[in-house]
Amino acid sequence: MERNDATMPLVAIFCAAIMWILLLWMFNGETTPKPVAVDPAMTASIEKDYPVLGKKVFEQGDPATGAIACQGCHGAQGQGGAGPKLAGAENILKDPVLVHTILVKGKGNMPSFEGKLTDQEIYAVSNYVLHSWGNTIEKPLTPEMVAAGQSKVDPEILKNRSRFVPEDLKLPQIWLATFIMVLLTYGLIGLYSVWAEGVELHPGIHKVRATPLAMLGITTTMALTVLFSVLFVRQMNIDYQGWAAKTPVTPNVTAEGLYAAMIVLMLAASLALYKKFFMDGEVLVEDASGEFPW
């Protein structure tokens, strides 16, 4: 039986790629920082504002606009509580712009203070945090530094700075992401089916014989499965010890996820090679009109 629709999986993957580009464009619109207005007068007043105004905002917030006091979550001495510890926080000392960005955009459980605090108050409380409880930076945080920081960002800092997290996904993005997964799943199954069984299906038992290249492939994928399994267990053990340490170390979730994904991919590749080159196949055709779309 001729499989005249063998190109359909490629069409599905092509459509998924187009939707992926559209999805990335939508994400970029969410995460692109707004241009920073540089006011020389504000820059000149920042150094004298933050010890008094910044301290007041940190301790009292602004009840008139609903801006809550920072110390309620971060502690009166920046020791942390419901919110992260600010005293001696290396991430904000390494990238002071991060404080301003989180105050404006919010992050996780912390709300955005844009519209609830004036620019003057935001810079004042940012600098209060950056110059209190042993924290210190070379120069006070200014609009010029924030503007420059938008184009010069360490990749690791950018991961922390972005507020675009799963709970912020909107309906169009959820729909696109779901449809992309459906198309990719359909396309990959179709391509695998054509690769494993050929363009033409002939009823009966298909005898297969392994080639040296196939033997090398399945041996390699199985060896890589073992390797990534060892790396995964090792990383889990490191992260568990770090989490249980006196000074907890954040688990390396990225490495854990990478190793787990590679284990799944290598197992899938091994099974695919086994199906193609080591296992006899049986094809049954009950009705020439009853075809799967792939």
Q: How many CB atoms lie within 10 A of CB 39?
A: 15
Report the pLDDT value the prediction gives residue 293, as an integer from 0 to 100. 46
Whether the CB-CB separation of 127 and 141 falls below 8 Å is answered with yes
What's the token pair of residue 205?
């038992």
pLDDT at 219 over 90: yes
Mean pLDDT of the 238-261 span: 80
Report the pLDDT value the prediction gives residue 173, as an integer from 0 to 100. 73
Report the pLDDT value the prediction gives residue 223, as an integer from 0 to 100. 95
pLDDT at 2 over 50: no
pLDDT digits (tens, 9 = 90+) for 205-214: 667 677 888 8
Residues with Cβ within 8 Å of 88's Cβ and at least 6 positions away in sequence, in order, are 133, 134, 135
Mean pLDDT of the 16-25 span: 81
Q: Is the pTM of this model over 0.75?
A: no
What's the token pair of residue 285?
């055709």
pLDDT at 18 over 50: yes
Whether the CB-CB separation of 208 and 281 falls below 8 Å is answered with yes
Biggest alpha carbon–alpha carbon distance for the chain: 86
Per-domain residue ranges of the chain: 34-149, 209-278
pLDDT digits (tens, 9 = 90+) for 120-156: 888 889 989 998 888 888 888 888 888 776 655 545 4
Phi/psi for 139 (5° steps) reads -130, 150
pLDDT at 36 over 70: no
Whether the CB-CB separation of 127 and 72 falls below 8 Å is answered with no
**CA angle, residues 218, 221, 224, in degrees to nearest 5:** 150
pLDDT at 222 over 70: yes
Confidence of residue 225 (pLDDT cuts 50, 70, 90): very high
Specify the higher pLDDT residue, 28 or 79: 79
pLDDT digits (tens, 9 = 90+) for 87-133: 888 888 888 888 888 888 887 778 888 888 888 888 889 989 998 88
Q: How many CB atoms lie within 10 A of CB 80?
A: 14
Residues with Cβ within 8 Å of 5's Cβ and at least 6 positions away in sequence, in order, are 291, 293, 294
Task: Output Rg (C-alpha) for the chain, integer angstroms.
Answer: 28
Distance CA 100, CA 149 (A): 11
pLDDT digits (tens, 9 = 90+) for 151-198: 555 454 454 444 444 545 667 777 788 888 888 888 888 887 777 766
Confidence of residue 202 (pLDDT cuts 50, 70, 90): low
Mean pLDDT of the 20-45 span: 68
**CA angle, residues 64, 67, 68, in degrees to nearest 5:** 115
Distance, CA of 116 to chain centre: 29
Report the pLDDT value the prediction gives residue 115, as an integer from 0 to 100. 85
pLDDT at 262 over 70: yes
pLDDT at 21 over 90: no
pLDDT digits (tens, 9 = 90+) for 42-67: 777 787 888 888 889 888 888 888 88
Of the chain, the end-to-end C-alpha distance in Å amounts to: 13
pLDDT at 204 over 80: no
Q: What is the DSSP letter of 107?
A: B
Question: Locate tokens 């009292």: which residue?
Answer: 60
Confidence of residue 265 (pLDDT cuts 50, 70, 90): very high
Distance CA 89, CA 79 (A): 10
pLDDT at 283 over 90: no
Provide CATH code, domain 34-149.
1.10.760.10
Distance, CA of 61 to chain centre: 32
What's the token pair of residue 238?
């490191």
Partners of 110 in the β-ladder:
107
